Amino acid sequence: MKDNKLIFVIVELILLFMIFIFSVMLVTDRTSNIKKKVTVIIENQDDEAWRGFIYGLKKAAKDDDVSLDIVSVNSINDENDMESLIENAINSGSEAIITEPTSNSSINEVLRRARTKIPIVLTHSDVKNSDMNIPVVEADCYQMGKKIALEIEADYGKDLSGKKCGLILGKIGTEAADNAKKGFLDEVKKTGLNVKWTINDKSLHDNSLEILKVQSDVDFVVSLSDFGMKKATQSLEEKKLSASYVYGIGCSETVCVALDKELAKCFIAPDEFSIGYRALDMISNKLSGSSEMEDEKVNYKVMRRDNLFDEENQNMFYYLLQ
């Protein structure tokens, strides 16, 4: 009899507890779950070259239900800046960081230390000469550099002896810039192309138009960065650059307009949307424990005036025009 009473009391208590739990679940908003937060640290967010990348990040964040915090700075000058940015991100509750490596090796060392605390994904480039093994989402820069050379060959023939070109390099000190340069030079070295001058990305940032103006005449300019392409085509339009066309790597509406205006002859467009989307998707999967992170290469397209508005290239404008 006593056992029966005990069982009855226990069952009634369990039922009461269940009623309480269900009631609480009914009245509380279950949708207000705490999202995982990922911080993206980039330089010059307002640069339109980031549009596709940021759009990709935002779309992935929405699809994966991740809170995205994009931290933009004018420039990351030293390791203290980067360390401070990472610390702030961690303190604000971020569980992972996406960033682009810089040319400063001591800054990259900060990333090495930070990756022991939270997952980090690099975009657009790996860290030069590094064994950090931080996963990278990027386009194949070597192949893009090489592809530019091949497109020049397609326009001018395989014998480029007697042709002169100016070369604008990518972000100095990054592996992406080195690879793109190497890919281009590897391809053109057998063509006899004379690379008349070379300027780096940083010099262009400091004094873009003036520095281009003083360069010697060339048949065409090759830019291995979007910024370089924009500046070169702008200089060309303003007749401050003595060259016929600009070739290069680009990912902005301005570069597309330049191509449409035939200031640029051809450019290689890395899939910036995919870089952003995959970087965040990868880190989101890592945070949810469903997969490990590995290096990933995204596609690129060869854009010319005659295929710029083709149906298969229209989707690029979805993110370039955001």
Partner 1 sequence: MFEKYKKLYPTSIQSLIMFASTIVSMTMLVIVGLILYNRFYVIGKQSYIESTNSLVKQTGVNLEDYLYSMREVSDSIYYDVIKDKDLDKENIENDMNLLYEANSSKIVSCALYDSKGQLIMASPNSKEKINIDVESQNWYKEALRETENLHFSTPHIQNLFDDSTNHFKWVISLSRAVEITRGGEPEIGVLLIDIDYSFIDSMVKSVNKSKNGPYIYLCDSKGSFISHPKQIQIEEGFSDENNKAISSLSTGVYKEKFKGENRDLVIYTVSYTGWKMVGVIPNRSFKDGMMNIKLFILMILSLTAFTVLLINRIVSRRISSPILKLDESVKAYEHGRDSKIYIGGSDEIKHLGKSIEKNYEKIELLIKDIKREQDERRKSELEALQSQINPHFLYNTLDSITWMIEGGKNDEAVFMIQCLARLFRISLSKGKTIISIKDEIQHAKSYMNIQKVRYQDAFEMVYEIDEKVLDKCIVKLVMQPILENAIYYGVNAEEEDGIITLRAYEKEGDIYIEIEDNGYGMPESEVEEVLKNENHVPKHGSGVGILNVHNRLKLLFGEEYGLSIKSELDYGTKVTIHIPSILFTEENRKYLEKGDSYERQ
Least Cβ distance, residue 277 to partner 1 (angstroms): 6
Least Cβ distance, residue 42 to partner 1 (angstroms): 20
Taking CB under 8 A as the rule, does residue 22 contact partner 1?
Answer: yes
Nearer to partner 1, 199 or 258 (CB): 258
Q: Going by C-beta distance under 8 Å and a sequence separation of 6 or more, which residues neighbour residue 187?
A: 145, 146, 149, 150, 153
Angstrom distance (rounded) from CA 111 to CA 97: 10
Sign of the dihedral defined by the CA atoms of residues 135, 97, 206, 255, in that order: positive
Q: What x-and-dash track marks residues 49-88 binding partner 1 by CB under 8 A?
A: ------x---xx-xx-x-----------------------
Angstrom distance (rounded) from CA 238 to CA 191: 30
What 8-state DSSP symbol labels residue 215? S
Exactly one of 6, 16, 154, 214 binds partner 1 (CB under 8 A); that residue is 16
β-bridge partners, 96: 38
Exactly one of 2, 26, 216, 292 binds partner 1 (CB under 8 A); that residue is 26
Sign of the dihedral defined by the CA atoms of residues 175, 180, 186, 189, in that order: negative
Backbone φ, ψ for residue 15 (5° rounding): -65, -40
| Residues in 267-296 that interact with partner 1 by CB under 8 A | 271, 273-274, 277, 281
Q: What x-and-dash track marks residues 216-255 binding partner 1 by CB under 8 A?
A: -------------------------------------xx-
Nearer to partner 1, 184 or 227 (CB): 227
Instruction: Please count the residues of this chain forming the interface with partner 1, following the rule CB under 8 A.
Output: 40
Query: What angle separates helix 226-237 from helix 201-213, to the nearest 10 degrees?
Result: 10
Q: In terms of Cα–Cα distance, which of 84, 86, 81, 113 is closest to 99?
A: 86
Mapped onto helix, strand or coil, the DSSP state of residue 134 is: coil
Residues contributing to the site for partner 1 (CB under 8 A): 1, 4, 8, 11-12, 15-16, 18-19, 22-23, 25-26, 30, 55, 59-60, 62-63, 65, 253-254, 256-257, 260-261, 271, 273-274, 277, 281, 308-309, 311, 314-315, 317-319, 321
